[in-house]
Amino acid sequence: MNISLFNTGKYVDLEQHKEPAFSAPLSSVPIRELAYVPLRDLYGGQMYPVARRGDRCARFSLLARTKTPSNELGPSWLMAPLSGYVEEITTIEHPIFGRSFCAVIRPDNSVPPLPTTPHSLNAMTREGVLRTIHQAGIIDEFDGQPLIEKILQARSDGIREVAAIALDDSPYISSALKTVSEFGSEVSDGITVVLKALDGGSAKLAIYDCDEIAVKPDIDHFGFVKPIRMRGGFPLISKFKRQYYPKGNFLPIGVQALRSAAQALVRGLPQTNSIITVSGECVKHPCNAVVVNGTTIEDVLRFVGVNKLPRYVILGDTMTGITVTDIKTPVTAGMRAITVMHAIPRREKTSCIRCGKCVTVCPMDLPVYEAIRRHERGEIDKAAGYGAQHCTGCGACSAVCPSAIEVADIMRHLKKISRRKQKQAPDQSN
Ligand code: SF4
Ligand code: SF4
């Protein structure tokens, strides 16, 4: 495969275009010929195939596993997302995983029975919940992190608050709203599951609120969870955090990951598919679709139809996604959108698009993008006041910035200014 990537964050389109995809019925994308399933564990580490070339694998049977434990709960397993024959085990270049082993599966379109009888949420033990979520291989679409890792970290930090995130604030994405609309009770069960793993606590649902979409059922009544409607500019997660958890003592989890947690506990299902918004100006029939892991983007585009020359095929959306040039690229767990554009309005290469990625990855929990915005306006002293003295210089913010801003360099510069001001402060008081 020949995939080359470039950031798309420098292109933005702030108009909302959710309605056509949201209004269409939820559909399933068929795999035409072959599925390409990257053999990567939750942490992006290499897995080793259990199924061999020529084997028939049943959906939910063991496809690959790690040789060593991935965490305190043991090795990771990868379950086959579909039934079929393993044509070969090969290597591919994947935009997220890099060079990776991959099982190429030819579907036989059989649908085996579900693996277990339903379990009762009331009968769960905390250890059982943790082990099941680990084995289900759930990636949180909110931030691309393994759900089990987030829960283990939250436990060790003493966090007891969960926020279900359905903040589809990106222009073309409505997959979280569709998930809440279609599978509200499973999302609610997923919150119960995670609270069990955290030994209790409470939860909120943060949901994007816009006039063009009416989420059903009435979101004012969402089980035992308090729904919070959020309006405003991108990224709404920062506003939500400031308003409801200013100390950052909560665990944000995407609604699809919560649904997957419920499915793992109640029905014994691993996470083998995602609900993906397929949209953009080149898509003939925008929709939200269930896409099995390993389905190629080519199959997804064939399903929705293309009515204009697609110049940008973006995993994610126009705000923060990455562009792929090989439509044989497979969809993997944790994706929530494919956006296909003919042209995208440009912005200055180095302007901050307020995506909030730098805030999300910052290990010191600094309001990085606030500092960058002030810095861009030339308000250097104010910019240095956003906790720059605590910056460790790890560089994570620069690595994820879709606008290619050297965020860490700016933060280091602000750190020096902040330290200098701190040293001057006692002198001035004398
Ligand atoms: S370099 Fe500083 S601001 Fe950037 S992620 Fe690391 S600690 Fe946070
Ligand atoms: S500086 Fe932060 S908020 Fe701005 S574009 Fe870069 S990652 Fe996104």
Each as own residue / partner, the long-range contacts of residues 302-305 (CB below 8 Å, 24 or more positions apart, any chain) are 302/32, 303/27, 303/29, 303/30, 303/278, 304/278
In whole angstroms, what separates CA 331 from the centre of its chain? Answer: 13
Burial, 413: exposed, middle or buried (Cβ in 10 Å; 0-12, 13-18, 19+)?
middle
Distance from Cα 408 to the centre of ligand 2, integer Å: 11
Q: Tell whether the torsion through CA atoms of 79, 80, 82 and 84 is positive or negative.
A: negative
3-state secondary structure of 413: helix
Which ligand is the nearest neighbour of the Cα of 400? 2
Atom of ligand 2 nearest to the CA of 320: 8
pLDDT at 299 (0 to 100): 97
pLDDT at 178 (0 to 100): 95
pLDDT at 7 (0 to 100): 37
Atom of ligand 1 nearest to the CA of 415: 2
pLDDT at 430 (0 to 100): 41
Separation of alpha carbons 113 and 248, rounded Å: 42
pLDDT at 102 (0 to 100): 94
Distance from Cα 96 to the centre of ligand 2, integer Å: 19
361 lines ligand 2 (CB under 6 A): no
383 lines ligand 1 (CB under 6 A): no
This prediction has a pTM of: 0.78
352 lines ligand 2 (CB under 6 A): yes
pLDDT per position in the chain (430 positions), as tens? 222 233 333 344 457 789 999 999 999 999 999 999 999 888 878 899 999 999 999 999 999 999 888 788 888 899 999 999 999 999 998 887 778 899 999 999 777 766 656 677 778 899 999 999 999 999 999 888 899 999 999 999 999 999 999 998 888 899 999 999 999 999 999 999 999 999 989 999 999 988 777 776 566 667 788 899 998 766 678 778 889 998 889 999 999 999 999 999 998 899 999 999 999 999 999 999 999 999 999 999 999 999 988 888 988 876 666 788 888 999 998 899 999 988 765 545 567 888 888 888 787 789 999 999 999 889 999 999 999 988 877 767 877 788 878 888 899 899 989 888 776 665 444 4
Instruction: Give, to the nearest 10 degrees, the angle between helix 147-156 and helix 175-197.
Output: 40
Beta bridge partners of 330: 296
What is the total residue count of the chain? 430
Which ligand is the nearest neighbour of the Cα of 413? 1
**Helix H or strand E encompassing 230:** strand 226-230
Separation of alpha carbons 8 and 344, rounded Å: 9
Pocket test for ligand 2, best of 239, 320, 369, 376 (most atoms within 8 A of CB): 369
pLDDT at 103 (0 to 100): 96
pLDDT at 302 (0 to 100): 96
Separation of alpha carbons 362 and 237, rounded Å: 15
Separation of alpha carbons 377 and 51, rounded Å: 56
Say if residues 172 and 21 touch (Cβ distance below 8 Å): yes
Domains of the chain in start order, with CATH, are 19-108+269-341 (no CATH), 121-267 (3.40.50.11540), 357-429 (no CATH)
Question: What is the residue with the minimal CA distance to atom 6 of ligand 1?
Answer: 394
